Amino acid sequence: MAPASSIPAAQPLPGDSDAHGNGEPISEGEALARLRQCADQSHQYYAAWWLGRNRSRHPEAVPLLITALQQRRPRDPLAGVEENAVARNAARALGKLGDPAAIPELLAALDDEDDGLREAAARSLGELAAIDAVAVLLRRLASGPAGAGATRPDSPRLQEPCEAMLEALGAIGIAEPGVITLIEPFTAHERPLIRSAACRALLQLSGEARWADPLVQLLDHPQLQVRRAALMDLGAVGWRPALEPICRTLAENSLKLIALRGLVEQGAHHDATIQAEAVLSAMDSLL
Amino acid sequence: MDSIGERIQAVRQAASAQTMLAATCALAASDHGDSVNGEAIACLVEVLGFNNPGAAVAAVDGLIRLGPMAVEPILDSLDPRNYGARAWAVRALAGIGDVRGLDLLEEALASDVGPSVRRAAACGLGSLQLKALKPHQRTAVRERALLALLGGCHDGEWVVRYAVSVGLESLGLRLEPQPQEQLQLLKALAALGQPDLEDTVVVRLRARLAHQRLLALMPAAGIEAQAQADDRP
């Protein structure tokens, strides 16, 4: 709600390994100018992030981000801030700006060889609720946990960015039997984060409580990272019966507040006996 | 049960983040006698600077439990070069609600870079303990807290604006009949409840709830605010 100029320039999240923002406050005009030039990619990288973070509504923002997304080329992991890093940030920003004009280029990015870009594109297509993405996502995940969900020989990453792709299917919301059947085996994936994403998607698509139980159980997982993911997933679904377990789990209040915001805002979709006011009161006590 | 001295020693000698957390929890939960509270406070304040979030949370809880006697040691420990410690100190002072922390809470809500710090400050500004103050001091503190919270309504983070709504409600519940203040407060909450001014649903819901609760207590100011809103072009 505040004008962008009054927001202290925040860095990309610490978990974002692509973070290169230099953090000084810039104006929307400056961000657009930085994205338009091609000489300095670290400027483009920061500008793409800035436009998404500040939900720019400037008419040039989406076309420039689409151009930046098209700049990608075969990946060279040794280059510093490379075109693909700019493309990934552009893909993320396009999801936040909510303009369906970005969908075709994001769909193309789902088949890029850079899995980081596929991941960013999948998340953004989910945010845009892009129905056209369902077929591509199903195709990429069709080989199941043993194929798409297998660990790569050369890195700890999976063949496909399964977490983002499963979450996108849940967010897009096409609850056809083919989608459900494809997601279900991922609820038994060896990695808890993938199980969490699969349960989240199935809970969103079916509203069946049996998919909530594993998510609530993950709130007791020994790893903080897993508890955080389960918090975000229950929040994204808005599963109000999880109110108590969310308040109890060992994690930062900041994340619990985000999850509870989801329970308030998304929770009315489910048959919930817990009223929004009870969730608000729980939020008050976490401030 | 270990003595306070042993518990303090356990914190100071903790070799890992885990043992530090356990030792801090034990110290924070201790039933202190007045004679040893000073040492326990000094130790808990030190923990705020150790860059161990779990232990810092426990130390903040312990300091809040100890209350006003922890305020001076916390303020004395503030080190502008240690941002982390300062952020935890803001949270402890916000929880204690002592007016000696007012300067720091105002500054934190207005300009701290951490949303979780601004959020705690907003809450704390709404729940400052006013009972022990002289009437003119009480008025001055309330006015400053209100001004700081009104500034926080324009924060860029939803969670801070949420906390500002909560802060305004708790401040409003303890306002004495000061029509001008009531009016400002209700107008700020009404703005946070409007879709064209506030884009986060949960903030709007919380602000409306606060507005409703306060309106029941200050019907006159509510009528005045409504009349002014109707006069707008």
Residue B171 included in any domain: no
ipTM over 0.85: yes
DSSP string covering A145-200: HHHTTSBPTTSSSBSS-HHHHHHHHHHHT---HHHHHHHGGGGG-SSHHHHHHHHH
* Domain boundaries defined on chain A: 24-71+84-116, 207-287
Contacts of B198 in chain A (CB under 8 A): 1
**Distance of alpha carbon A71 from alpha carbon A109, whole angstroms:** 11
CATH, range A24-71+84-116: 1.25.10
Closest alpha carbon within chain A to B91: A287
Q: Given this model, what pLDDT does residue B231 score?
A: 64
Task: Mark yes or no for CB contact A280/B209 under 8 Å.
Answer: yes
Residues in chain B: 233
Residue B128 included in any domain: no
CB B157 within 8 A of CB B192: no
Q: Which residue has the tokens 């063949």?
A: A159
**Closest-CA distance of chain A to residue B176, Å:** 23
Residue B115 included in any domain: no
Q: Given this model, what pLDDT does residue A215 score?
A: 96
Strand partners, A151: A158
Residue B117 included in any domain: no
Which pLDDT tens digit goes with each residue over B111-143? 999 999 999 999 999 999 988 899 889 989 999
Q: Given this model, what pLDDT does residue A1 score?
A: 40
Check pLDDT > 90 for residue B199: yes
Closest alpha carbon within chain A to B56: A252
Task: Mark yes or no for CB contact B201/A1 under 8 Å.
Answer: no
Residue B182 included in any domain: no
Give the CA count within 13 Å in the CB-facing half-sphere of B101. 38
B110 inside 8 A of chain A by CB = no
Count other C-beta atoms under 10 Å from residue B12's C-beta.
12
Helices (H), chain B: 4-13, 17-28, 34-48, 53-66, 71-77, 83-96, 102-111, 115-126, 135-152, 158-173, 179-192, 201-217, 219-231
DSSP string covering B53-106: HHHHHHHHHHHHHHGGGGHHHHHHH--TT-HHHHHHHHHHHHHHT-GGGHHHHH
Instruction: List residues of A whose CB lies inside 8 A of any B CB.
Output: 1-2, 6-8, 10, 252-254, 257-258, 261, 264-265, 276-277, 280, 283-284, 287
pLDDT band, very low/low/confident/very high, at B80 (cuts 50, 70, 90): confident
CB A233 within 8 A of CB A212: no
| Apex B161 CA angle, B158 and B163, nearest 5 | 110
Closest alpha carbon within chain B to A264: B202
B77 inside 8 A of chain A by CB = no
CA–centroid distance for B97 within its chain:
7
Q: Given this model, what pLDDT does residue A201 score?
A: 97
For the segment B151-161, the average pLDDT, to the nearest whole number, is 96
Q: Given this model, what pLDDT does residue A24 score?
A: 62
Count other C-beta atoms under 10 Å from residue A269's C-beta.
13
Contacts of B163 in chain A (CB under 8 A): 287
CATH architecture of A207-287: Alpha Horseshoe (1.25)
Contacts of B109 in chain A (CB under 8 A): none
Please name the member of B119, B197, B205 whose beta carbon is closest to the beta carbon of A276.
Answer: B205
Task: Dig out the tokens for B188 from the structure.
Answer: 């700020």
B159 inside 8 A of chain A by CB = yes
For the segment B87-93, the average pLDDT, to the nearest whole number, is 93
3-state secondary structure of A98: coil
- Which positions ≥6 away from A21 have C-beta within 8 Å? A9, A11, A12, A45, A46, A49, A50
Residue B10 included in any domain: yes
B141 inside 8 A of chain A by CB = no
Q: Do domains A24-71+84-116 and A207-287 have the same CATH topology?
A: yes
Task: Mark yes or no for CB contact B154/A265 under 8 Å.
Answer: no
Residue B215 included in any domain: no
Contacts of A98 in chain B (CB under 8 A): none
Task: Dig out the tokens for B1 from the structure.
Answer: 């049960």
**Backbone dihedral angles phi then psi of residue A2, each to the nearest 5 degrees:** -75, 150
CB B123 within 8 A of CB A287: yes
Q: Given this model, what pLDDT does residue A224 score?
A: 92
Rg over alpha carbons for chain A, rounded to the nearest Å, is: 19
Q: Given this model, what pLDDT does residue A237 score?
A: 94
C-alpha dihedral, A223 to A225 to A227 to A232, nearest 10°: -170
Q: How far is CA B51 from CA A15, B13, B20, in A?
A: 18, 15, 11
Task: Mark yes or no for CB contact B159/A257 under 8 Å.
Answer: yes
Strand partners, A158: A151
Please name the member of B53, B119, B202 whose beta carbon is closest to the beta carbon of A264.
Answer: B202
Q: In whole numbers, what is the pLDDT of chain A averaged over residues?
A: 88
B223 inside 8 A of chain A by CB = no
Count other C-beta atoms under 10 Å from residue A171's C-beta.
21
Contacts of B53 in chain A (CB under 8 A): 252
**Closest-CA distance of chain A to residue B35, Å:** 32
**Distance of alpha carbon B116 from alpha carbon A93, whole angstroms:** 24
CB B24 within 8 A of CB B16: no
Instruction: Report, as ranges of residue numbers, the positions in chain A whose pLDDT lies below 50.
Output: 1-22
Contacts of B155 in chain A (CB under 8 A): 2
Q: Which phi-psi region, left, alpha or beta, contains residue A238 (left: φ > 0; alpha: ψ -120 to 50)?
A: left
Q: Provide the number of structural domains found in chain B.
A: 1
Which pLDDT tens digit goes with each residue over A9-47? 333 333 333 333 445 678 999 999 999 998 888 999 999
Lowest mean per-residue pLDDT among A153-157, A251-255, B61-65, B222-226:
B222-226
B213 inside 8 A of chain A by CB = no
CB B189 within 8 A of CB B214: yes
Q: Which residue has the tokens 């400053």?
A: B144
Q: Which of B202, B211, B212, B213 has the highest number of chain A CBs within 10 A, making it the mutation to test binding with A?
A: B202
The range of the structural domain enclosing residue B14 comes to: 1-84
Give the CA count within 13 Å in the CB-facing half-sphere of A171. 23
Check pLDDT > 50 for residue B94: yes
